[in-house]
Structure 1
């Protein structure tokens, strides 16, 4: 995972489930430990979230030795009625940066 973000207190717009899904989209081979650090969650919380996402059909994984490779179902529709018709791919397009966007460009004064 690319650098761990600084801690934050207070409310945020994105749920922990969305953060974990975005972290996995960014690196499908990420360890739970790395996802937890990146999302500022406990490993136990990340494990529960991954189980939730797998149970609901948004995520699956294959195991190769000790490594998990996650697969996101991009066409799966989001659960809340307010997001009717939006897919996981739509959500991830907002949350996951392209490699070319990772290097922040200087902001003009």
Structure 2
């Protein structure tokens, strides 16, 4: 029986917490920042399951953007994978909904209402 080929040299993988290690306080912390909440809102509204980092036009430096993505990934809110040289981001909605039913939808709805209120 043939064995699976080893991973290609130079393959980059990023650490993500398994579902059972995602904690509410970490998720709430990640969602408490306006820039990170913007990323999550865009991912939730995207037609594609994954968006590249370059898709997001945040009004902060590249290093700060990288920090925000790391906080979201390490808290279990998003999953990041490399495809070639592109880092793609996807919302871990299934994990979040299983652990904290209704939380993500409630936060997204509240953020939408706040944006509408502030725009008025």
- In structure 2, what is the equivalent of residue 30 of structure 1? 52
1:70 corresponds, among 85, 89, 100, to 89
2:53–2:88 Cα contact (<8 Å) kept:
no
CA contact (8 A) 2:43 2:51 kept: yes
Contact kept in structure 2, 1:73 and 1:88, CA below 8 Å: no
Bigger fraction of residues in helix: 2
User: What is aligned with 1:57?
Assistant: 76
* In structure 2, distance between residues paired with 1:87 and 1:63: 28
Distance 1:74 1:60 in 2: 10
**Higher-Rg member (1/2):** 2
Which residue of structure 1 lines up, in the alignment, with residue 103 of structure 2?
A: 87
Q: Which runs of 5+ in 1 are unaligned?
A: 1-13, 78-83, 97-109
Question: Alignment length, in residue pairs?
Answer: 75
Alpha carbons 1:22, 1:92 under 8 Å: kept:
yes
Q: Is the 8 A contact 1:29 1:70 kept in 2?
A: yes
Unmatched 5+ stretches in structure 2: 1-32, 113-120
Please tell me whether the aligned partners of residues 29 and 67 of structure 1 are also in contact (alpha carbons under 8 angstroms). no
